Structure 1
Amino acid sequence: MLEGGLMLTLDRVTKTYRAGAFGGGSVTVVDRVSFDAAPGEVVSLIGESGSGKSTIGRMILGLTEVSDGRLTLDGKAVRPGKDFYRRVQGVFQDPFSCYNPVFKADRVFALVRRTYHHGVPDKEWADRVEQAVRDVRLDPGQVLGRYPHQLSGGQLQRLLIARALLLDPGFLVADEITSMLDASTRIDVLNLLAGLKERGLGVLYITHDLSLGTYLAERTVVLRRGRIVERGDTQKVFGNPLHPYTRTLLAAVPRLNTPWTLPEPVETCAFHEAGEQGSDLRETEPDHFVACAQLPDCGRTPA
């Protein structure tokens, strides 16, 4: 059973990298991002490639340092280490890169045991591994003891989720974890995550697929060029999109029996492009925040 979820909070989190000749310049890839995810809640982080989604995930996991702002889990700053990764886990887009091809795929479980559960008897550990594999809709007899090249990408991805579950984490960063899976397997994985949140697991679900984010998440954060442009209750964000970029994303989703045409370019306005004030969000209705929404007072300084 899960020990209990963790409360994730990002408060104006920024990530800047040095750039240019001799590192004399800089580029900001995440710009004053603020949102939270409560225990037992799935939050979708949505945006196009290069918008900063994976960088946010890496900062939450302690793999990339925060340049400015505050990022906490249960009120404590991220401090990578054994105890931290006992509670916070990540599953990434490319499962093949997470396995050594010369070892059998279930070696990932042995590494977890060696680091976190070395005192667990062999029989008990084998039972735990088998149950974790069944929890991700796999048959232990068909996947354990095989090499990575003998398994599909979907099977390898679900084994990585099973590995994370063996630690009973409080928070999971799921970064494009369904992008390499076929349609039926994607639903299996999403249903698995939905079941885990009922047990208290908090999830940040990073994706560029709006339909999958809508299927799973209670709340959605829309990211563009490192900034949040819209966030809030998923049904409100997608049912009443106010930011031009959100509307463009929705218009770009192909629909059955409807001819697809390239969406019009994203509109901009003075409020969005206005530097410091351009990153501010305003609440248009309960749990629905937007920047550069082309509201009647668009372009004015927020109160």
Structure 2
Amino acid sequence: MKSELELRGVQQRFHARGVAGGYITAVDDVSFTLAAEPPQVVSLVGQSGSGKSTIARNVLGLQKPTQGSVLYGGKDIFKLSRAEYDAYRRDVQPVFQDPYAIFNPFYRVDRALWKAVKKFGLTTSRSKGLELIEESLRAVRLEPENVLGRYPHQLSGGQRQRIMLARVHMLRPSFIIADEPVSMLDAQVRKHFLDILLDFQREHGMTTLFITHDLSTVYYLGGEVMVITKGSIVERGPVSTVMHDPSHPYTRLLLDSIPQPDPDDRWTTRIRVDELDEEEEAEKAPATTSGPETPII
């Protein structure tokens, strides 16, 4: 049976000059569990600065929480042995936001794939390694002859992101931590990327934590969603339920801020997210007849 990935009471503080108390709280008492069986897609959605990427860093072991624990198979990932941590790194794989920064421009893109083959001992020979790389590239809808041997600047952003998905496909992890992976891609390439994540879930049993500020991608992926603001998760549940019957005022604000495809329906007011700390304040928010209110996010 595959291990679960759990955040338990995670809090992340950062020192900050000129701030009351001398620190800011980026993540505030966050707890959730990602199950590997059955595989699922769980989206974490909120505005910029809400704590989403900090949670990703906690899960990936790049940032130790100030308080709380990140558990893998019931063990704190920051207390794992070297062998256990190597297994964790293989089983929990990241996909980052910027397709232009994830590759070293001085090396061909092949290097990122061969590094994974060698680091994790995926094959016993170079010929089998090449077969594995080509198979994984085709799995993410890339033709090997079109990308292998090229430098990063010779490929599009979408091709670079799919090469990182090919690396994930080679390793077959239980968990993918995808931090805003489609925010820099155009609509058509974005759809291909999301379809590949869904293929990974159905065909290879991978669970994805999909971190985003874009509700349209959340709706397309389906599954579960957690809504975060000011470092706290304020609502969670199936995407269909949260989207169609939100219970928290911040979730309703996010949904109301989605632009309408009508050039005559224009926003006329601006509202700050911190005005929605209490349910009563949301009820008192001024209405507009010419378009939905938009938050500053």
Q: Quick check: 2:44–2:211 contact (8 Å CA) kept in 1? A: yes
Counterpart selection for 1:261 from 263, 267, 280: 267
Structure-to-structure mapping, 1:95-106, within 5 angstroms:
95-106=99-110
Structure 2 equivalent of residue 136 of structure 1: 140
Measured after TM superposition, the shift of residue 74 of structure 1 is: 2.7
Distance 1:269 1:176, change over 3 A: closer
Measured after TM superposition, the shift of residue 7 of structure 1 is: 2.0
Q: Quick check: 1:10–1:34 contact (8 Å CA) kept in 2? A: yes
Measured after TM superposition, the shift of residue 233 of structure 1 is: 1.3
Measure the CA separation in 2 of the matches of 1:269 and 1:25.
23
Measure the CA separation in 1 of the matches of 2:238 and 2:35.
13
Counterpart selection for 1:16 from 13, 27, 37: 13
Q: Quick check: 1:251–1:263 contact (8 Å CA) kept in 2? A: no
Q: Quick check: 1:248–1:264 contact (8 Å CA) kept in 2? A: no
Q: Quick check: 1:5–1:171 contact (8 Å CA) kept in 2? A: no
Measure the CA separation in 2 of the matches of 1:293 and 1:242.
13
Structure 1 equivalent of residue 194 of structure 2: 190
Structure 1 equivalent of residue 169 of structure 2: 165
Distance 1:87 1:262, change over 3 A: farther
Measured after TM superposition, the shift of residue 229 of structure 1 is: 1.3
Structure 2 equivalent of residue 220 of structure 1: 225
Measured after TM superposition, the shift of residue 145 of structure 1 is: 0.6
Structure 1 equivalent of residue 254 of structure 2: 249
Does residue 150 (structure 1) correspond to residue 147 (structure 2)? The answer is no
Q: Which amino acid aligns with 2:66?
A: S
Structure 1 equivalent of residue 235 of structure 2: 230
Does residue 85 (structure 1) correspond to residue 84 (structure 2)? The answer is no
Q: Quick check: 1:42–1:197 contact (8 Å CA) kept in 2? A: yes
Measure the CA separation in 2 of the matches of 1:70 and 1:178.
29
Per-residue CA deviation, residues 247-303 of structure 1 (Å, 9 max, x unaligned), is 111111112236241566355355899xxxxxxxxxxxxxxxxxx999xxxxxxxxx
Measure the CA separation in 2 of the matches of 1:38 and 1:118.
25
Secondary structure, in 3 states, of the residue corresponding to 2:171? coil
Measured after TM superposition, the shift of residue 48 of structure 1 is: 0.5
Superposed structure 1 runs of 4+ greater than 3 Å apart: 266-273
Q: Quick check: 1:243–1:293 contact (8 Å CA) kept in 2? A: no
Q: Quick check: 1:19–1:26 contact (8 Å CA) kept in 2? A: yes
Structure 1 equivalent of residue 125 of structure 2: 121
Measure the CA separation in 2 of the matches of 1:272 and 1:11.
30
Q: Any stretches of 5+ residues in structure 2 without a counterpart?
A: 285-297
Does residue 26 (structure 1) correspond to residue 23 (structure 2)? The answer is yes
Q: Quick check: 2:122–2:129 contact (8 Å CA) kept in 1? A: no
Q: CA RMSD in A?
A: 2.4
Measured after TM superposition, the shift of residue 6 of structure 1 is: 4.2
Measured after TM superposition, the shift of residue 73 of structure 1 is: 2.3
Measure the CA separation in 2 of the matches of 1:117 and 1:173.
22
Q: Quick check: 1:14–1:69 contact (8 Å CA) kept in 2? A: yes
Structure number with higher helix proportion: 2
Measure the CA separation in 1 of the matches of 2:133 and 2:116.
10
Measure the CA separation in 1 of the matches of 2:162 and 2:283.
39
Q: Give the structure-2-normalised TM-score.
A: 0.85
Q: Any stretches of 5+ residues in structure 1 without a counterpart?
A: 274-291, 295-303
Measure the CA separation in 2 of the matches of 1:5 and 1:205.
20
Structure 1 equivalent of residue 32 of structure 2: 35
